[in-house]
Amino acid sequence: ERETNPVRQQRFLTFVLVGGGPTGVELAGTLAEIARQTRSEFRNIDTHKTRIVVIEAGPTILPSFAPALRDAARRSLARLHVEVRENTRVTAVDEGAVMLGAERLEAGTILWTAGVAASPITATSGPSSSSSTTPIFHPAPSASTCSSRIWVGSTSSSTTPGPATHR
C-alpha cells in the first residue's frame, strides 16, 4: 500500500508457486480469489494487476489426476487469470526471484509447493543442514542463523522437538 514505484509494486503483486500438484493448484486459485475480493480495500494498489504463476517441472499440473480433471483445473485457473507453466524447471531461487533456466521471474512471494520431500535447492539456501536437502533451524535464531527465507513442511527441521515456526 505504501510502495509508489510501479515496478516494485508489480513485483510485490507477483506470486510464484513452484509445484503444480494439488497444493500448488489449490493455493494459486485461493490467492486469485483473495486478490479479486480485496480490490476495494486498497487505495494505492490495483489488485487487478496481481500476477500468479504456477511453475510445474513435469509435463502437466495435477499428474496423479485423470486428464479430464487436469483440464478442468487448467480452465479454472485460466478463468482466474493464473498463469500455468508446465515443463518448466526452477533452477535457482534468490531473494525476490526464481530462475527458470536463463529466465529470471521476479516475485514478491515465492511459495514452494512441489512434492512431499524437500527439494535439493534447499541445500544451497538454508542454514546448516541435517541432510543434503533439509535446512536446520535453531531454537533461538540470531543474525548468523536467520535468513529472509521461510521454509515449511518437509523442507525444514528444528533442533527442538514439537511444533514451531521458524524464519
What is the chain's mean pLDDT, rounded? Answer: 80
Confidence of residue 144 (pLDDT cuts 50, 70, 90): very low
Q: Out of 1, 3, 26, 106, which one is annotated catalytic?
A: 26
pLDDT at 19 over 90: yes
pLDDT at 166 over 50: no
Select from 112, 115, 108 the least CA-distant residue to 90.
Answer: 112
Select from 142, 141, 132, 133 the least CA-distant residue to 164.
Answer: 141
pLDDT at 142 over 80: no
Least-confidence region, from 64-73, 79-88, 97-106, 146-155: 146-155
pLDDT at 3: 82
State how far the alpha carbon of 59 is from the alpha carbons of 63, 67, 107, 121, in Å.
8, 12, 23, 20
pLDDT at 159: 56
Cα distance between residue 53 and residue 102, in whole Å: 17
pLDDT digits (tens, 9 = 90+) for 102-137: 999 999 999 999 975 655 665 555 555 444 455 555
| 26 counts as catalytic | yes
pLDDT at 143: 47
